[in-house]
Amino acid sequence: MSTLFLLLILLFGFLITFQIAKASEYVGVLKGEKKNFEQNNKVNGFLMIAFLVAGLIGVYYCNELYRGKILGESASVHGEQIDTMMYITIAITGVVFVITQILLFWFAYKYQYSEKRKAMYFPHDNRLEVVWTVVPAIALTVLVGFGLFYWFRITGDAPANANQVEVTGKQFGWIFRYPGSDKVFGKKYYQNISDKDNNQLGLLWDDPSTHDDIVTSEMYIEVNQPVKLIIGSRDVIHDVGLVYFRQKMDAVPGTPTTMWFIPKFTTAEMKKKLGNPDFEYEISCDQMCGRGHYTMRGIIKVVNHEDYVLWLAKQKPNYAQVMAGDIAPAAAGTATDSTKASTMRTNPAATKLVAQKN
């Protein structure tokens, strides 16, 4: 009912607008084409300058409103470099933005039609054109220079002492693997994957270096210690998005990718810093991967060295779990699947699937 009512109001609004528009057209004809045109031109000229002023105020207001909700201090060393780059870019483009927009609307206002004015015949000017070819070229050289400097630092090789974690995406969750005490990831083959047999990654048990590999559904990393992620996917393309670390890398089936960074704050420190006791470092999937894309959330706990060692020591290798006949963590619910099963809108088939698993 209310929908119908809303539609009626809308229709009514259209009709009124249309009638007014039609009437104003007749009035215009009565007033004479020229006079009508001049009046309209004045109004639009004024609106140009009004838009400029309102727009610039709006931009400023937006900045004030959202400054506190974006960026914040980066939680990784690489992120600091990205932030620096961001500020340089904002500064340069900001200046260009303000100047060009002011010129555009100011010219539109200033040079609006007047009977007295004669437009100037000014088809080209080589000097001017060279100036605005060279100046942007220089500005962009600066941006490219800084950009590539940071880019190579961020994408360069990880330090030799970096901890390694393998991250594998699947519809719709994350699986993590630690190499265990031998520091070597054992061999795996996707045909061996079996959620039923608790071999989510398809590890090859024939390879002894798989025997100490730890597979988890939560990721722990050490603060102030470089960590290298080896990223892959079991099915479609996903993306490991780490917003507080300012990092992102696709998870591509069949093609491993890597990323490394140094976390600066533990989760506990971030909780205090942001004043949010619920804070967690989240992994968001940033590449469209199907119906559960928006719920594909992972958690990273950043802890100090002692807690990290302790946590690792407590984990049972995947091989040992399988040999002991433990129930697969994946079958123990959808903890890695989504944020909250209750808030996720599932289709009946998927709900049934979840129920069966439980």
Partner 1 sequence: MSNEAAIHPVTETSHDAHLDEHDIHHHKQSFITTYVFSQDHKMIAKQFLITGMIWAIIGGLMSVLFRLQLGYPEAHFQFLEDILGSKWAKGGQIQPEFYYALVTMHGTILVFFVLTGGLSGTFANFLIPLQCGARDMASPFLNMLSYWFFLGASVVMMSSLFVETGPASGGWTSYVPLSALGDASEGSKTGMDLWLVSMAMFVVSSLLGGLNYITTILNLRTKGMSMTRLPLTIWAILFTAILGVLSFPVLLSGFILLLFDRHGGTSFYLSDIFLTETGKALPNEGGSAILYQHLFWFLGHPEVYIIILPAMGLVSEVMSINARKPIFGYMAMVGSLFSIAILAFLVWAHHMFVTGLNPFLGSVFVLLTLLIAVPSAIKVFNWLTTLWRGNIRFTPAMLFAIGFVSTFISGGLTGIFLGNSTLDIQLHDTLFVVAHFHIVMGVSGILGMFAGIYHWFPKMYGRYMNNTLSYIHFWITFTGAYLIFWPMHYEGLAGLPRRYLDYSNWISFNQFGGLNRFISTVAMITFAVQILFVFNFFYSIFKGRRVMDKNPWGATTLEWTAPIRPGHGNWPGEIPEVHRWPYDYAKDGRDFIPQTEPLGSNESAH
Footprint of partner 1 on residues 136-195 (CB under 8 A)? 136-137, 140, 143-144, 146-148, 150-152, 154-156, 170-171, 190-191, 193-195
Closer to partner 1 by CB, 181 or 276: give it: 276
Given candidates 49, 56, 77, 85, which one binds partner 1 under the rule CB under 8 A?
85
Q: 306 to 345, contacts with partner 1 by CB under 8 A?
A: 339-340, 343, 345
Given candidates 22, 31, 183, 273, which one binds partner 1 under the rule CB under 8 A?
22
Report the distance separating Cα 188 and Cα 206, nearest Å: 10
Given candidates 164, 247, 318, 321, which one binds partner 1 under the rule CB under 8 A?
247
Q: Are 228 and 164 in contact (CB under 8 A)?
A: yes
Which phi and psi (to 5°) does residue 154 adopt? -75, -40
Closer to partner 1 by CB, 212 or 249: give it: 249
- Distances from the Cα of 333 to the Cαs of 74, 204, 281, 329, 358, in angstroms? 33, 25, 22, 7, 5
Closer to partner 1 by CB, 153 or 183: give it: 153
Q: Is 241 in the site for partner 1 (CB under 8 A)?
A: yes
Report the distance separating Cα 344 and Cα 324, nearest Å: 34
- Min CB(271)–partner 1 separation in Å: 11
- Min CB(301)–partner 1 separation in Å: 13
Given candidates 5, 34, 161, 278, which one binds partner 1 under the rule CB under 8 A?
278
- Distances from the Cα of 39 to the Cαs of 27, 45, 46, 48, in angstroms? 12, 10, 11, 14
What does the per-residue mask of binding to partner 1 show for 51-70, with x meaning CB under 8 A?
x---x--xx--x---x--xx
Q: Are 313 and 180 in contact (CB under 8 A)?
A: no
Report the distance separating Cα 211 and Cα 208, nearest Å: 5
Say how many C-beta atoms besides its own lie within 10 A of residue 295's C-beta: 20
Q: What is the DSSP letter of 185?
A: P
* Per rule CB under 8 A, count of chain residues that contact partner 1: 130
| Alpha carbon 20 to chain centroid, angstroms | 46
Q: 255 to 274, contacts with partner 1 by CB under 8 A?
A: 255-258
What is the total residue count of the chain? 358
Closer to partner 1 by CB, 150 or 205: give it: 150
Q: Which stretch binds partner 1 (CB under 8 A): 90-98, 158-166, 218-226, 318-326?
A: 90-98
Closer to partner 1 by CB, 106 or 305: give it: 106
- Min CB(248)–partner 1 separation in Å: 5
Report the distance separating Cα 65 and Cα 48, nearest Å: 25
What are 341-350's contacts with CB under 8 Å, separation 24+? Answer: 344/292, 344/295, 347/291
Q: 93 to 132, contacts with partner 1 by CB under 8 A?
A: 93, 96-97, 100-101, 103-105, 107-108, 111-114, 117-125, 128-129, 132
